[in-house]
Structure 1
């Protein structure tokens, strides 16, 4: 598969069922699941009109969704401009290694450029070696470690 075999586009309302399939697989990869109400809420946010809300892109191949990404813009104390957080990225197993992940990330880069956001960042598990091979080619590994309150 080459980049001409798929199209990256904005998420649309009619994508809900196909998006759910990809979202469920993404969550399973991270060994988690969420109630249906979170699916509904997340999808509604992704389709929202507020530029400060979440945004969703999908990769489509032969009429089927094969990848997704979700991102948002937010303020940053060290910059005047907003920055972009790429929160979720998933390519279906059958298309991994074929450019879908790269195309989705580059589409987020383009959206960030269009919005005047100078920085795009994301996190991944340190042992996600397959994804990190791509990330090492199109991003810069930072020395930061993530902490959170559960």
Structure 2
């Protein structure tokens, strides 16, 4: 059975391992100070939020999200990071985390939850196509340096 809940200090090592797996998937390695900053923000629970999925007491998935204003609607929720341990995939972990974020956002008065993924991420897109609408937008970025 999968349970979803907030992260505790005891989850730090398992969370770091999952977050490292997420970043490795996207070809990046985060500096330790960025990992520490994210953990501090999650602990505060003001700007950035995190939930974890547990199976048999072990942390097997994580999701990071935050709200922001919109010019055309009430606030919206951006699901920034979602990752499930490879051994737990196909067991409903990702779906449960997405549903938990949607429930949280609904309770905050948000009008939608949205996220991005690479078009080549076919495994994740199979799930996303079942739980959300592909609105057909592309993302553009202007890197501003470090």
Query: Normalising TM by the smaller chain, what interval?
Result: over 0.9
Mapped to 2, the partners of 1:98 and 1:64 lie a distance apart of 14
TM-score (norm. length: structure 2):
0.95
How many pairs align?
A: 143
Q: Deviations over 1:13-72 (max 9, x none)?
A: 22111100101111111111011111100111111142xx01000001122110000000
Corresponding position of 1:131: 124
Give the RMSD, CA atoms, in angstroms: 0.8
State whether structure 2 residue 56 is matched by structure 1 residue 62.
yes
Residue number among 103, 126, 133 corresponding to 1:110 in the alignment: 103
Moved more, 68-77 or 8-17: 8-17
Unmatched 5+ stretches in structure 1? none
Distance 1:59 1:49 in 2: 17
Q: What TM-score do you get using the length of structure 1 for normalisation?
A: 0.92
Query: What is residue 78 of structure 1 aligned with on the other side?
Result: 72
Runs of 4+ in 1 over 4 A off after TM superposition: none
Equivalent residue number for residue 6 of structure 2: 10
